[in-house]
A = this chain, B = another copy of it.
Amino acid sequence: MSCKTGSRVAMRPLSEEALEMIARRFALLGEPMRLRLLHALFDGEKSVTALVEASGGTQANVSRHLQAMAEAGLLGRRKQGLQVFYSIADPTLFQLCELVCGSLEEKLARDAKAFARAG
């Protein structure tokens, strides 16, 4: 079960359940609209209405995505009067996005270089 504690994920036999949990988490990050919402939340909690405006999505769709991420523990939910405020609940989200973003940048730079060489 344990795969943190400084040791390599590589070495551990991952159970089918663990694999599905990990996959589900990655899959949640695998849609542009949800990334847009997360990105909008990176500078602090926001109401659903604010997120609808920030993302350009419909109210129903945004609400659904927010709920899905909240259920997975990615987002926190705070109800205040009529409004519901969502916020980043899992700090690893920042690191995950940094990692992927950085990796993509490097790849793009490499590709551009290769293109220049080839041309």
Q: Which A residues lie at the B interface, using CB under 8 A?
A: 1-4, 8-11, 14, 16, 18-32, 34-36, 39, 42-43, 73, 90, 92, 94-105, 107
Copies in the complex: 2
Question: Which residues of B sit under 8 angstroms from A39, Cβ to Cβ?
Answer: 9-10, 14, 19
Please tell me if the beta carbons of A27 and B25 are within 8 angstroms of each other in the complex: no
Q: How far is the CA of A105 from the CA of B101 in the complex (A)?
A: 24
Q: How far is the CA of A34 from the CA of B20 in the complex (A)?
A: 11
Please tell me if the beta carbons of B92 and A9 are within 8 angstroms of each other in the complex: no
Give the distance to chain B from A55, nearest Cβ to Cβ, in Å.
11
Q: How far is the CA of A43 from the CA of B10 in the complex (A)?
A: 6
Please tell me if the beta carbons of A26 and B92 are within 8 angstroms of each other in the complex: no
Identify which of B20, B94, B105 contacts A4 (C-beta below 8 A): B105
